[in-house]
Structure formats: structure tokens, C-alpha cells
Structure 1
Amino acid sequence: MTDQMDSQKARASEWFRSLRDQIVAAFEGLEDNHVEGPFADQAAGRFEVTDTKRSSADGSDAGGGLMSVMRGGRVFEKVGVNISTVYGELGDRAQGAMAARKGIPGMKDDPRFWASGISLVAHMQNPHCPAVHMNTRMFWTPHAWWFGGGSDLNPCLEYAEDTAHFHAVQKEHCDRHDAAHYPRLKAWADEYFYIPHRNRARGVGGIFLDDHNTGDWEADFDFIQDVGKAFLPAFVPLTEKRRVQIFGDAEKDAQLVHRGLYAEYNLVYDRGTKFGLETGHDANAVLMSLPPMAKWI
């Protein structure tokens, strides 16, 4: 059983790396192909890739990953595509990690964990282009394993047809597995990506899932792969359509204010941010989701 799970962990980690490579290539392709419209006279952006490390309390190897960030491109003002595979004991980071392991059955007696995933956040140059978030992950303990993640669209200037397209692609990929998935995961995203102190959602939603374990690892792995595969066809056509639109000061101001909402959510409520910081992962990688510029009224 241990050999089987080790193989499954390796396959999951390899998939997240493969998805990362596909997205990085697609985004650099968007940069190269943007030859007219705002920012087309700038140099095409390229990702800077940095190794990241997770530190353990005793200094032993605890995994790491790749942080890939593009700044100041033609299309993307800042975009990060991170992957990581980390492991160790959730109890080795004092009180913060103790909080992270709350609610995980059996962790008090055996706090070992392994986690792998991909996390992406894109902030765009043109305010007509929506910002976007996507992540998928696998989490393992000696007592259980599960998948989680999703994606959501965060436009500052909303277009109903863009929202409809993004959701339609998510639904198509969910329906390949179970027609009940999309409505449930859409409702979950609406609840999860909500900013209580602002009494509003941070965007126009998407899908979100956590603790996904039907008992059939292969089926669940196929599903989380389709969640990742939905991202590019859901997002890229919107960027291709909106990146050429002209904008003015009012649109740019709306973008900066909306980014303030995004930053508030990620710093106050996002589970991934809290988990990454509490368990000792590279702080720059954890916080790469923050926008390069934002504004508060």
C-alpha cells in the first residue's frame, strides 16, 4: 500500500509540474502575440523562475518547488505560477502549524503530511482583462488523502459574456465526471471567495472544492486534472478578446480599487496563504498572489 501511495504522490506531483509548463508556455505565447493595442510597444514578458524551499524546525529537507513570476509584460502586469511539493510534520512549526492541523483526524498521534500542488494568480495590464486565480492540490497524511482547488475570475470591469464563458468551460469539465459537481462547486466558490467585511464577493466566481476523497484515487485524480485542464480554455479567450481594448484613467482606477479587495481577501481569509506561512514555506512564493499595485478609497 505504501508503494502504491508513493507512486500516486509522484504522479500527482508530475501532473502539477506538467500543468505549470503548459500555462507558462501559453502565457508567454500571449505576450508574443500581443502586437497591437495598449502596451503592445513594450517588450514581451518572460517568467523568472526561482527555486523555493520549505524550512523545517530542525533544518532537515522539507521539500520546495518553483516560483515562476512575470512582471511588466505586454499583457500581464504581474503573474505567478507556483508549484511545490512539501512534507514533514505539521507540528514542527510551533503554534501556527498546530492551528493548521486542527480538524485533521489522527494528526495528534501522527502529524506527518505531504502536499503538492500548483497555484496561479494573474494581474493584468489592461483593466478590461480580468484577473484570475487557479490552484489544484493533493494533500496526504497517514490517515487520509484528498484533493482540492478550483479557479475563479476577478474582473474589475464585468462583462456578462465573459463570466458566462468562464463558467461554461468549468461546467463542461465538471460534467465529464458528475453532473452534480458543477452546481455544488459553484455554490462552494460563491461562499468561499466572499469578503465578509465588504459584504461582497471578490469576483464573479468559479468553482472550489476541498477534502475531495470518494475512496477512488484514480477517479479523483482524473477529476482534479480536469479542473486544471479547464483553466486555459476558460481564461485565455477572454484575455485575447479584451487585451486590445482602449482604456482611460477611470478604468485604471477601478482596477486598482478592485485589487485592494483581492489583497484584503488573500491576507485575511485565504486558507492557502495561512497554511503556507504557518508551515514554513517560502514567504515570497506564498505572497506572490498580491498585486503589484493596489488602491484603497
Structure 2
Amino acid sequence: MSEQMDSQKSRASAWFRELRDQIVAAFEGLEDSHSQGPFSDMAPGRFAVSETKRASADGSDAGGGLMSVMRGGRVFEKVGVNISTVYGELGARAQAAMAARKGIPGMKDDPRFWASGISLVAHMQNPHCPAVHMNTRMFWTPHAWWFGGGSDLNPCLEYDEDTGHFHGVQKAHCDRHDPEHYPRFKAWADEYFYVPHRKRARGVGGIFLDDYHSGDWEADFAFIQDVGKAFLPAFVPLIEKRRVDAFGEAEKDAQLVHRGLYAEYNLVYDRGTKFGLETGHDANAVLMSLPPLAKWV
């Protein structure tokens, strides 16, 4: 059983790397093809890639990953596409949170964990282009394994047809596995990406899932792959359409204010941010989701 799970872990980690490579290539392709409209006279952006390391309490190997960040491109003002595979033992706070939130017994007695995934956040130059977030991951402990992730759209200027397209692609990929997936995971995203202190949603939603475990690893892995595969066809056509739109100071101001909302959510509520910092992962990689510029009114 251990050998089978080791193979499954390797396959999941390899898939997240493959998805990362596809997205990085597609985003650099958007930079190259942007030949008219705002920012088209700038040099096309490129990702800077660096290795990340997770710090363990005793200095032993605890995994790491790749942080790929593009800044100041024609289309992307800042975008990060990170992958990581980390492992070791959860600290006391993370153990308690895991046991309480997921109802996993035995974490104190055997706190080992393994986690792998991809995380992406894009902040755009043109305020007509929506910001976006996507992540998928696999998590393992000796007591349970599960998948999680999703993607959600965060426009400062909302267009119903863009929202419809983004959700439509998500639904089509979910429907390949279960017609109940999309309504369930859309509702979960609406709940999860709500900002209580502002009494509003962070964006126009998408899908979100956690603790996804049917007992059939192959079927669950196929589904989480489709969650990742949905991202580019859901997002790229919106950018190709909106990146040429003209804008003025009012639109740019709306973008900066919306980024403030995004930053508030990620720093106050986001589970991934909290988990990454509590388990010793590279702080720059964890906080790459923050926008390059933002404002508060």
C-alpha cells in the first residue's frame, strides 16, 4: 500500500509541474501576441524562476518547489505560478487546526504530512482584464488523503458575459465527472471567497473544493486534473478580448481599490496563506498572491 501511495504522490506532483509549464508558456504567449492597445509598446514580460525551500525545525530536508513570477509585462502587471512538494511533521498549531477542521484523529501521535500543488495569482495591467486565482493540491497524512483547489475570477470591472464564460468552462469540466459537482463547488466558492468585514464577495466566484476524497484515488485524481485543465480555456479568452480596451484614471482607481480588497482577504482569511506561513514554507512564495500596487479609500 505504501508503494502504491508513493507512486500516486509522484504522479500528482508531476501533474502539477506539467500544468505549471503549460500555464507559464500560455502566459508568455499572451505577452508576445499583445501587439496593439494599452501597454503594447512595452517589452513582453518573462517569468523569473527561483527555487523555494521549506524550513524544518531540525534543519532536515522538508521539500520545496519553484516560484515563477512575472512583473511589469505588457499584459500581466504581476503574476505568480508556484509549485511545491513539501513534507515532514506538522507543528502543534497546524496539528490542532487539522484535527479540529478536518476531524482527523491521531494527528498528535503521528503528525507526518506530505503536500503537493500549484498556486497561481495574476494581477493585470489593464483594469478591464480580471485578476484571477487558481490552485489545485493533494494532501496526505498517515490518517487520510484528499484533494482540493479550484479557481475564481476577480474583476474590478465586471462583465456578465465574461463571468458566464468563466463559469461555463468550469461547469463543463465538472460535468464530465458528476453533474452535482459544479453547483456544489460553486456554492462553496461563494461562501469561501466572501469577505465578512466588507460584507461582499471577493470577486464573481468560480469553484472551490477541499477534503475531496471519494475513496477512489484514480477517479479523484482525474477530477482534480480537470479542475486544472479548465483554467486556461476559462481565463485566456477573456484576456485576449479585454487587453486592448482603452481605460482612464477612474478605471485604474477602481482596479487599485479592488486589489486592496483582494489583499485584505488573503492576509486575513485565506487558509493557504496561513498554512504556508505556519508550516515554514518560503514566505515570498506564500505571499506572492499580493498585488504590486493597491489602495484603500
1:152 aligned residue: 152
Kindly indicate whether the alpha-carbon contact (under 8 Å) linking 1:56 and 1:88 is maintained by their aligned counterparts in 2: yes
Q: Given the alignment of the two structures, is residue 236 of structure 1 paired with residue 233 of structure 2, yes or no?
A: no
| Deviation per residue, 1:163-195 (Å, 9 max, x gap) | 000000000000000000000000000000000
CA distance in 2, matches of 1:102, 1:200: 30
Q: Which runs of 5+ in 2 are unaligned?
A: none
Cross-structure match for 1:224:
224
* Matched residue, 2:98: 101
CA 1:218 to 1:19, structure 2 compared with 1: closer, same or farther past 3 Å?
same
Find out whether 1:253 has 2:253 as its counterpart.
yes
TM-score where L is the length of structure 1: 0.98
State whether residues 40 and 74 of structure 2, in contact with CA within 8 Å, keep that contact through their aligned partners in structure 1: yes
CA distance in 2, matches of 1:2, 1:155: 44
* Equivalent position SS for 1:40: coil
SS at match of 2:113: strand
> Could you report, residue by residue, the CA deviation over 1:204-252 in whole angstroms, capped at 9, with x for unpaired residues?
0000000000000000000000000000000000000000000000000
Post-superposition offset of 1:75: 0.1
Structure 1, residues 102-161: CA drift from partner, whole Å, max 9, x if none?
333221111000000000000000000000000000000001000000000000000000
- Do the aligned residues in 2 keep the contact of 1:170 with 1:207 (CA within 8 Å)? yes
Alignment of 1:32-111 (within 5 A): 32-91=32-91, 95-103=92-100, 104-111=104-111
Supply the distance in 2 between the matched residues of 1:16 and 1:224 (Cα, whole angstroms): 10
Q: Distance in 2 between matches of 1:157 and 1:264?
A: 19
The answer (yes or no) to whether the contact 1:100–1:278 under 8 Å persists in 2 is no
Q: Deviations over 1:81-120 (max 9, x none)?
A: 00000000002xxx54344433332211110000000000
Q: Helix, strand or coil for the counterpart of 1:153?
A: strand
Query: Over aligned residue pairs, what C-alpha RMSD do you find?
Result: 0.7
Contact 2:182 2:207 in 1 (8 A): yes
Identity fraction in percent? 86
Q: Residue 90 of structure 1 contacts residue 101 of structure 1 at CA under 8 Å; is this kept in 2?
A: no
- In the other structure, the counterpart of 1:141 is 141
For 1:133 and 1:55, the matched residues in 2 are separated by: 26
Can you give the 5+ residue segments of structure 1 that lack an aligned partner in the other structure? none
- Asked if structure 2 preserves the Cα contact closer than 8 Å seen for 1:90 and 1:279, the reply is yes
Per the alignment, residue 12 of structure 1 pairs with: 12
Residue aligning to 1:279 = 279
User: For residues 161-200 of structure 1, what are the structure 2 equivalents within 5 Å?
Assistant: 161-200=161-200
- Separation of aligned partners in 2, 1:256 and 1:114: 37
Q: TM-score, normalised by structure 2?
A: 0.98
**Partners of 2:121 and 2:96 in 1: CA distance:** 26
Letter paired with 1:279: T
Deviation of the 1:262 alpha carbon: 0.2
Amino acid at match of 2:31: E
What is the alpha-carbon distance in structure 1 between the residues aligned to residue 94 and residue 43 of structure 2? 42
3-state SS of paired residue (1:19):
helix
Name the amino acid aligned to 1:118. Answer: I
Structure 1 CA distance for aligned equivalents of residues 97 and 4 of structure 2: 27
Q: Distance in 2 between matches of 1:226 and 1:26?
A: 17
Determine if contact 2:147/2:213 at 8 Å carries over to the other structure. Answer: yes
| Contact persistence 1:257–1:296 (CA under 8 A) | yes
2:271 paired with 1:292? no
Letter of the 2:115 counterpart: A
Q: Deviations along 1:241-267, whole A, 9 cap, x unmatched?
A: 000000000000000000000000000
Which AA in structure 1 matches 2:183?
P
Answer whether contact 1:66 1:83 (CA < 8 A) is retained.
Answer: yes
Hey, which bits of structure 1, 4+ residues long, moved more than 6 A? none
